[in-house]
A and B are shown apart, each in its own frame.
Chain A
Amino acid sequence: MRFKRLALLALFLLPAFSMFVTAAEVRVAATDHKGSPIDELVIWLEPLDAPAPPPTPDELQATVEQIDEEFDPYTIAVRKGTKVEFPNRDAVQHHVYSLSKPAQFEIPLHGGDETESVVLDQPGLVPIGCNIHDWMLSYIVVVDTPWFGTSQADGVVSVADLPSGRYQLSAWHPRMRQADERTITLSEGELNEVTIELRLRPDRRIRRAPSSGGASY
């Protein structure tokens, strides 16, 4: 608890520190093997020279909505111990579940405006689905570092305020079997640009067919 308070203090002091201690920023641009930017790519950086700073309470909040019979976002990274809320914005009910090793939970059929939450305290990949809507799928990547992000449609994700030093940069996308890992060194006071090219596998999400439930033969 003391440790937590200290971290909170550090957070408050961070703007003041930044006046004197210049932090590093990393900008990761990801493309697939065809050169197309990769959207919804999750990246995270784990420091190799020093332990990661402890999480602050604000860090440990995340939301995965059920809206328009989809999960939003599709991919998200959260810090270990984050309490993820699953608010249902739809008129229909959903049955959210995950059978992953890091977290096995089930939120049985629940209606609109009911918000359930789950604390994810094991690092790893937690795919979540809806038992009554096969196409609903979201991936929560639980990491033990404060430095992570998800790319936008331009394939770029930026993470700021990192101390200089060596990091393991990991990148993962649902169309990848395993996370891409590489070691990078960040320098203070400048923008560290990392370009990565990833080979993506076919997108095998179940096609959402509004009218017919059959397969497309």
Chain B
Amino acid sequence: MIRFRSFRAALLTLILGVVAVAQVTTFLIVANVNRQQASREIDADLINASEAFNRVTAARIHLLASSAKAVAGDFAFRRLFFDSADDPATLQSAFTSASNRINADLNAWVDLDGVTIVSTAEVDEDTFAELVFRADESEEAEADGYLEIDGQPYSMVTVPIRAPTIVGWWVVGFQIDEAFAAELNAQTRVEVSFANRAGTIVASSLDADSRAELEASWLQMPHEQNQIYDVPLADDTYKVLLQTDAMEDGGQLAIILQFSLDEKLAPARRLSRWILVVSLGGIALAAIVGMGFARRLSRPVQQLARHTRVIASGDYQTPLNLKREDELGALANAFNAMSSGLAERDQVRDLLDKNVSPEVAAEMMREGSRLGGEERRVTVLFADLRGFTTMSEHLPPQEVVSLLNRYLDRMTEAIEAEGGVIDKFIGDEVMALFGAPVPSTQCALRAIKAALRMREALGKLNRELAAEGLAPLSFGIGINTARVVAGNIGSANRLNYSVIGDGVNLAARLQSQTRNPEFNTDLIISEATYGAVAPIARLTARDLGTVQVKGREQGERIYAVEALEIDESGFAKA
């Protein structure tokens, strides 16, 4: 297989290939049909020529026979015939005169015993005996045949001399010579040659060279009577029909009829040349049209290829402008739709990153809506601003939102710095997760560290606010560690990654406990969280005792976190 580097080359090659195959096939079929047709025509011509030879010979023989009979009917000749024995000189001269009345190449008078009395050719006494006896036995009292005299073939016929009964025979004939061959050739356009019994070509319509070549080769040809053979002669293929006729005195007269295949194919060759010209023209036209077509097809493909690189580079805004109605146009539209789809997805991703934590967004991007429905041990952190509602009443709405966003921004920063995930903002309240969606064995420690960072961040924010002449903010944080159900929760069209469970509620309740002035703390953790952190970090926490939490039968032991000394080695394990 040839591998094409370009689609255009492949397409062009295909078009040219198909056109060329079609043209070559047509050319070959036409050439073959022409050759067969020429061959059939030659066969018909040869058979026609063979029949023409027989017909012309018969007509000539008939004419000679009629002439001889007419002259033989002359009363003077009849009488003379009886006196022949007495006066051979008169007979000879009368014979000459009678022969002159007939335009024959051969004349002879033969008696009833088959003995030649007089003849224009030098022949043996019994040369015509067989012919005469055959005539004598026939109802028509006539016989014809071929005879060779001095190597020259003659066609001859004998007719009776009646006085009034048959008293003798008149043999007349014509020589099968060049003129006869030329006449047959003129009539039939077939080349005619005659060979005597020695195989010598005695007459032919062929030119000297072809004749010599035929003479040298025809005896080696197949001699099947009335069969047509292909014979190469003089740089040409001839179809040859051989007809043989037995001669009176033994041997055969061969009539060799031949027709040049090249000559018969000449008109077909002219046609072939025209077809070749038209074929080449067709291929050239196909090349031009194919090139244009291939370019028309490959250019948008190249444009599409370039555009994919544009898209790959992240540019979803530049549209692909093909302005085509066809499939490629549809492909371009699909491309544009795809790039706008990609742009949209990027925006979604962006929004997702803003609305949910990057980890959740990434997890959602990766896992899709499969997130969910799994039990996890997580640490839930709730942080709530103190007295913000009261404060917001004294500020314009824009400043409220601005202040809240500033606060939430700092908190978020602090939470994410410890690998926490903002689950949601509920007004001025922040819910954050540790250990979901990305599992972590040190979620409790991270949550406490995050809370301490938040405390620090709030202090920094308050200093800024003080500088701006604004009242300081304060918050309360509740942290609990528990097994919860994590997953995408919501309706079919709107999902939120979140966690649910008793442990979540407890974290919210612990946050509420920070409002209790008796505890005097802004950070309360559950016993479960305390238990998880104590072995791996030096946690300074005040035991606040057991409190009764709403919705829980048993009391919950809680701690207020004072400080955390991180065991570096232990932390490094996280």
Q: What residues make up the interface of A, taking CB atoms closer than 8 Å to B?
A: 97, 99, 101, 104, 127-131, 134, 136-137, 139, 174, 201-204, 206, 214-215, 217
Contact = CB atoms under 8 A, between A and B. Distances in A.
B139 A202 contact: yes
Given A203-B139, A215-B66, A137 B165 contact: yes
A128 B82 CA distance: 14
A104 B163 CA distance: 11
A152 B544 CA distance: 175
A127 B165 contact: yes
B476 interface: no
Contact of B82 (A99, A131, A139): A99
Contacts of A139: 165
Contacts of A99: 78-79, 81-82, 163, 167
A129 B164 contact: yes
Q: Identify the 6 closest CB pairs spanning chains A and B, nearest first.
A: A129-B164, A202-B139, A204-B141, A127-B165, A99-B163, A99-B82
Contacts of A131: 75
B137 interface: yes
Q: Is the interface of B mostly helix, strand, loop or mixed?
A: mixed
A104 B66 contact: no
Nearest to B164: A129
Interface string B153-167: 000000010111111
Interface string B131-144: 00000011111000
A102 to B, nearest CB: 12
B79 A201 contact: no
Contacts of A215: 62, 65-66, 69
B73 interface: yes
Contacts of B73: 134
Contact of A134 (B141, B162, B167): B162
A131 B72 CA distance: 12
Interface string B489-515: 000000000000000000000000000
A75 to B, nearest CB: 12
A127 B164 CA distance: 7
A202 B142 CA distance: 12
Contacts of B141: 204
Contact of A137 (B81, B137, B164): B164
Contacts of B163: 99, 129
Contacts of B78: 99
A64 to B, nearest CB: 13
Given A131-B75, A215-B66, A202 B137 contact: yes
Interface residues of B, number: 22
Given A99-B79, A217-B62, A201 B137 contact: yes
Nearest to B159: A215
Nearest to A137: B164
A134 B72 CA distance: 11
Given A99-B78, A217-B62, A204 B166 contact: yes
A172 B139 CA distance: 19
Interface string B55-85: 0000000100110010001010011011000
Interface string B297-320: 000000000000000000000000
A206 B138 CA distance: 13
A175 to B, nearest CB: 10
B63 to A, nearest CB: 11
A205 to B, nearest CB: 9
Nearest to A128: B164
A50 B26 CA distance: 102
Given A134-B162, A139-B165, A214-B66, 12 more contacts: A99-B78, A99-B81, A99-B163, A127-B164, A129-B163, A174-B165, A202-B137, A202-B138, A204-B138, A204-B141, A206-B162, A215-B66
B360 to A, nearest CB: 120
A181 B244 CA distance: 45
Given A104-B82, A136-B164, A215-B66, A204 B75 contact: no
Residue of B73, B138, B140, B160 contacting most chain A CB atoms (<10 Å): B140
Nearest to B62: A217
B66 A204 contact: no
Contacts of B138: 202, 204
Contacts of A127: 164-165
13 contacts: A97-B164, A99-B78, A99-B82, A127-B164, A128-B164, A129-B164, A131-B75, A137-B164, A174-B165, A204-B138, A204-B139, A204-B166, A215-B69
A158 B137 CA distance: 31
Interface string B9-37: 00000000000000000000000000000
Contacts of A217: 62
Nearest to A95: B75
A153 to B, nearest CB: 21
A12 B65 CA distance: 58
Interface in B503-533: none
B164 A204 contact: no
A99 B76 CA distance: 11
A201 B133 CA distance: 12
A204 B79 contact: no
Contacts of B164: 97, 127-130, 134, 136-137
Given A99-B82, A131-B75, A204 B167 contact: no
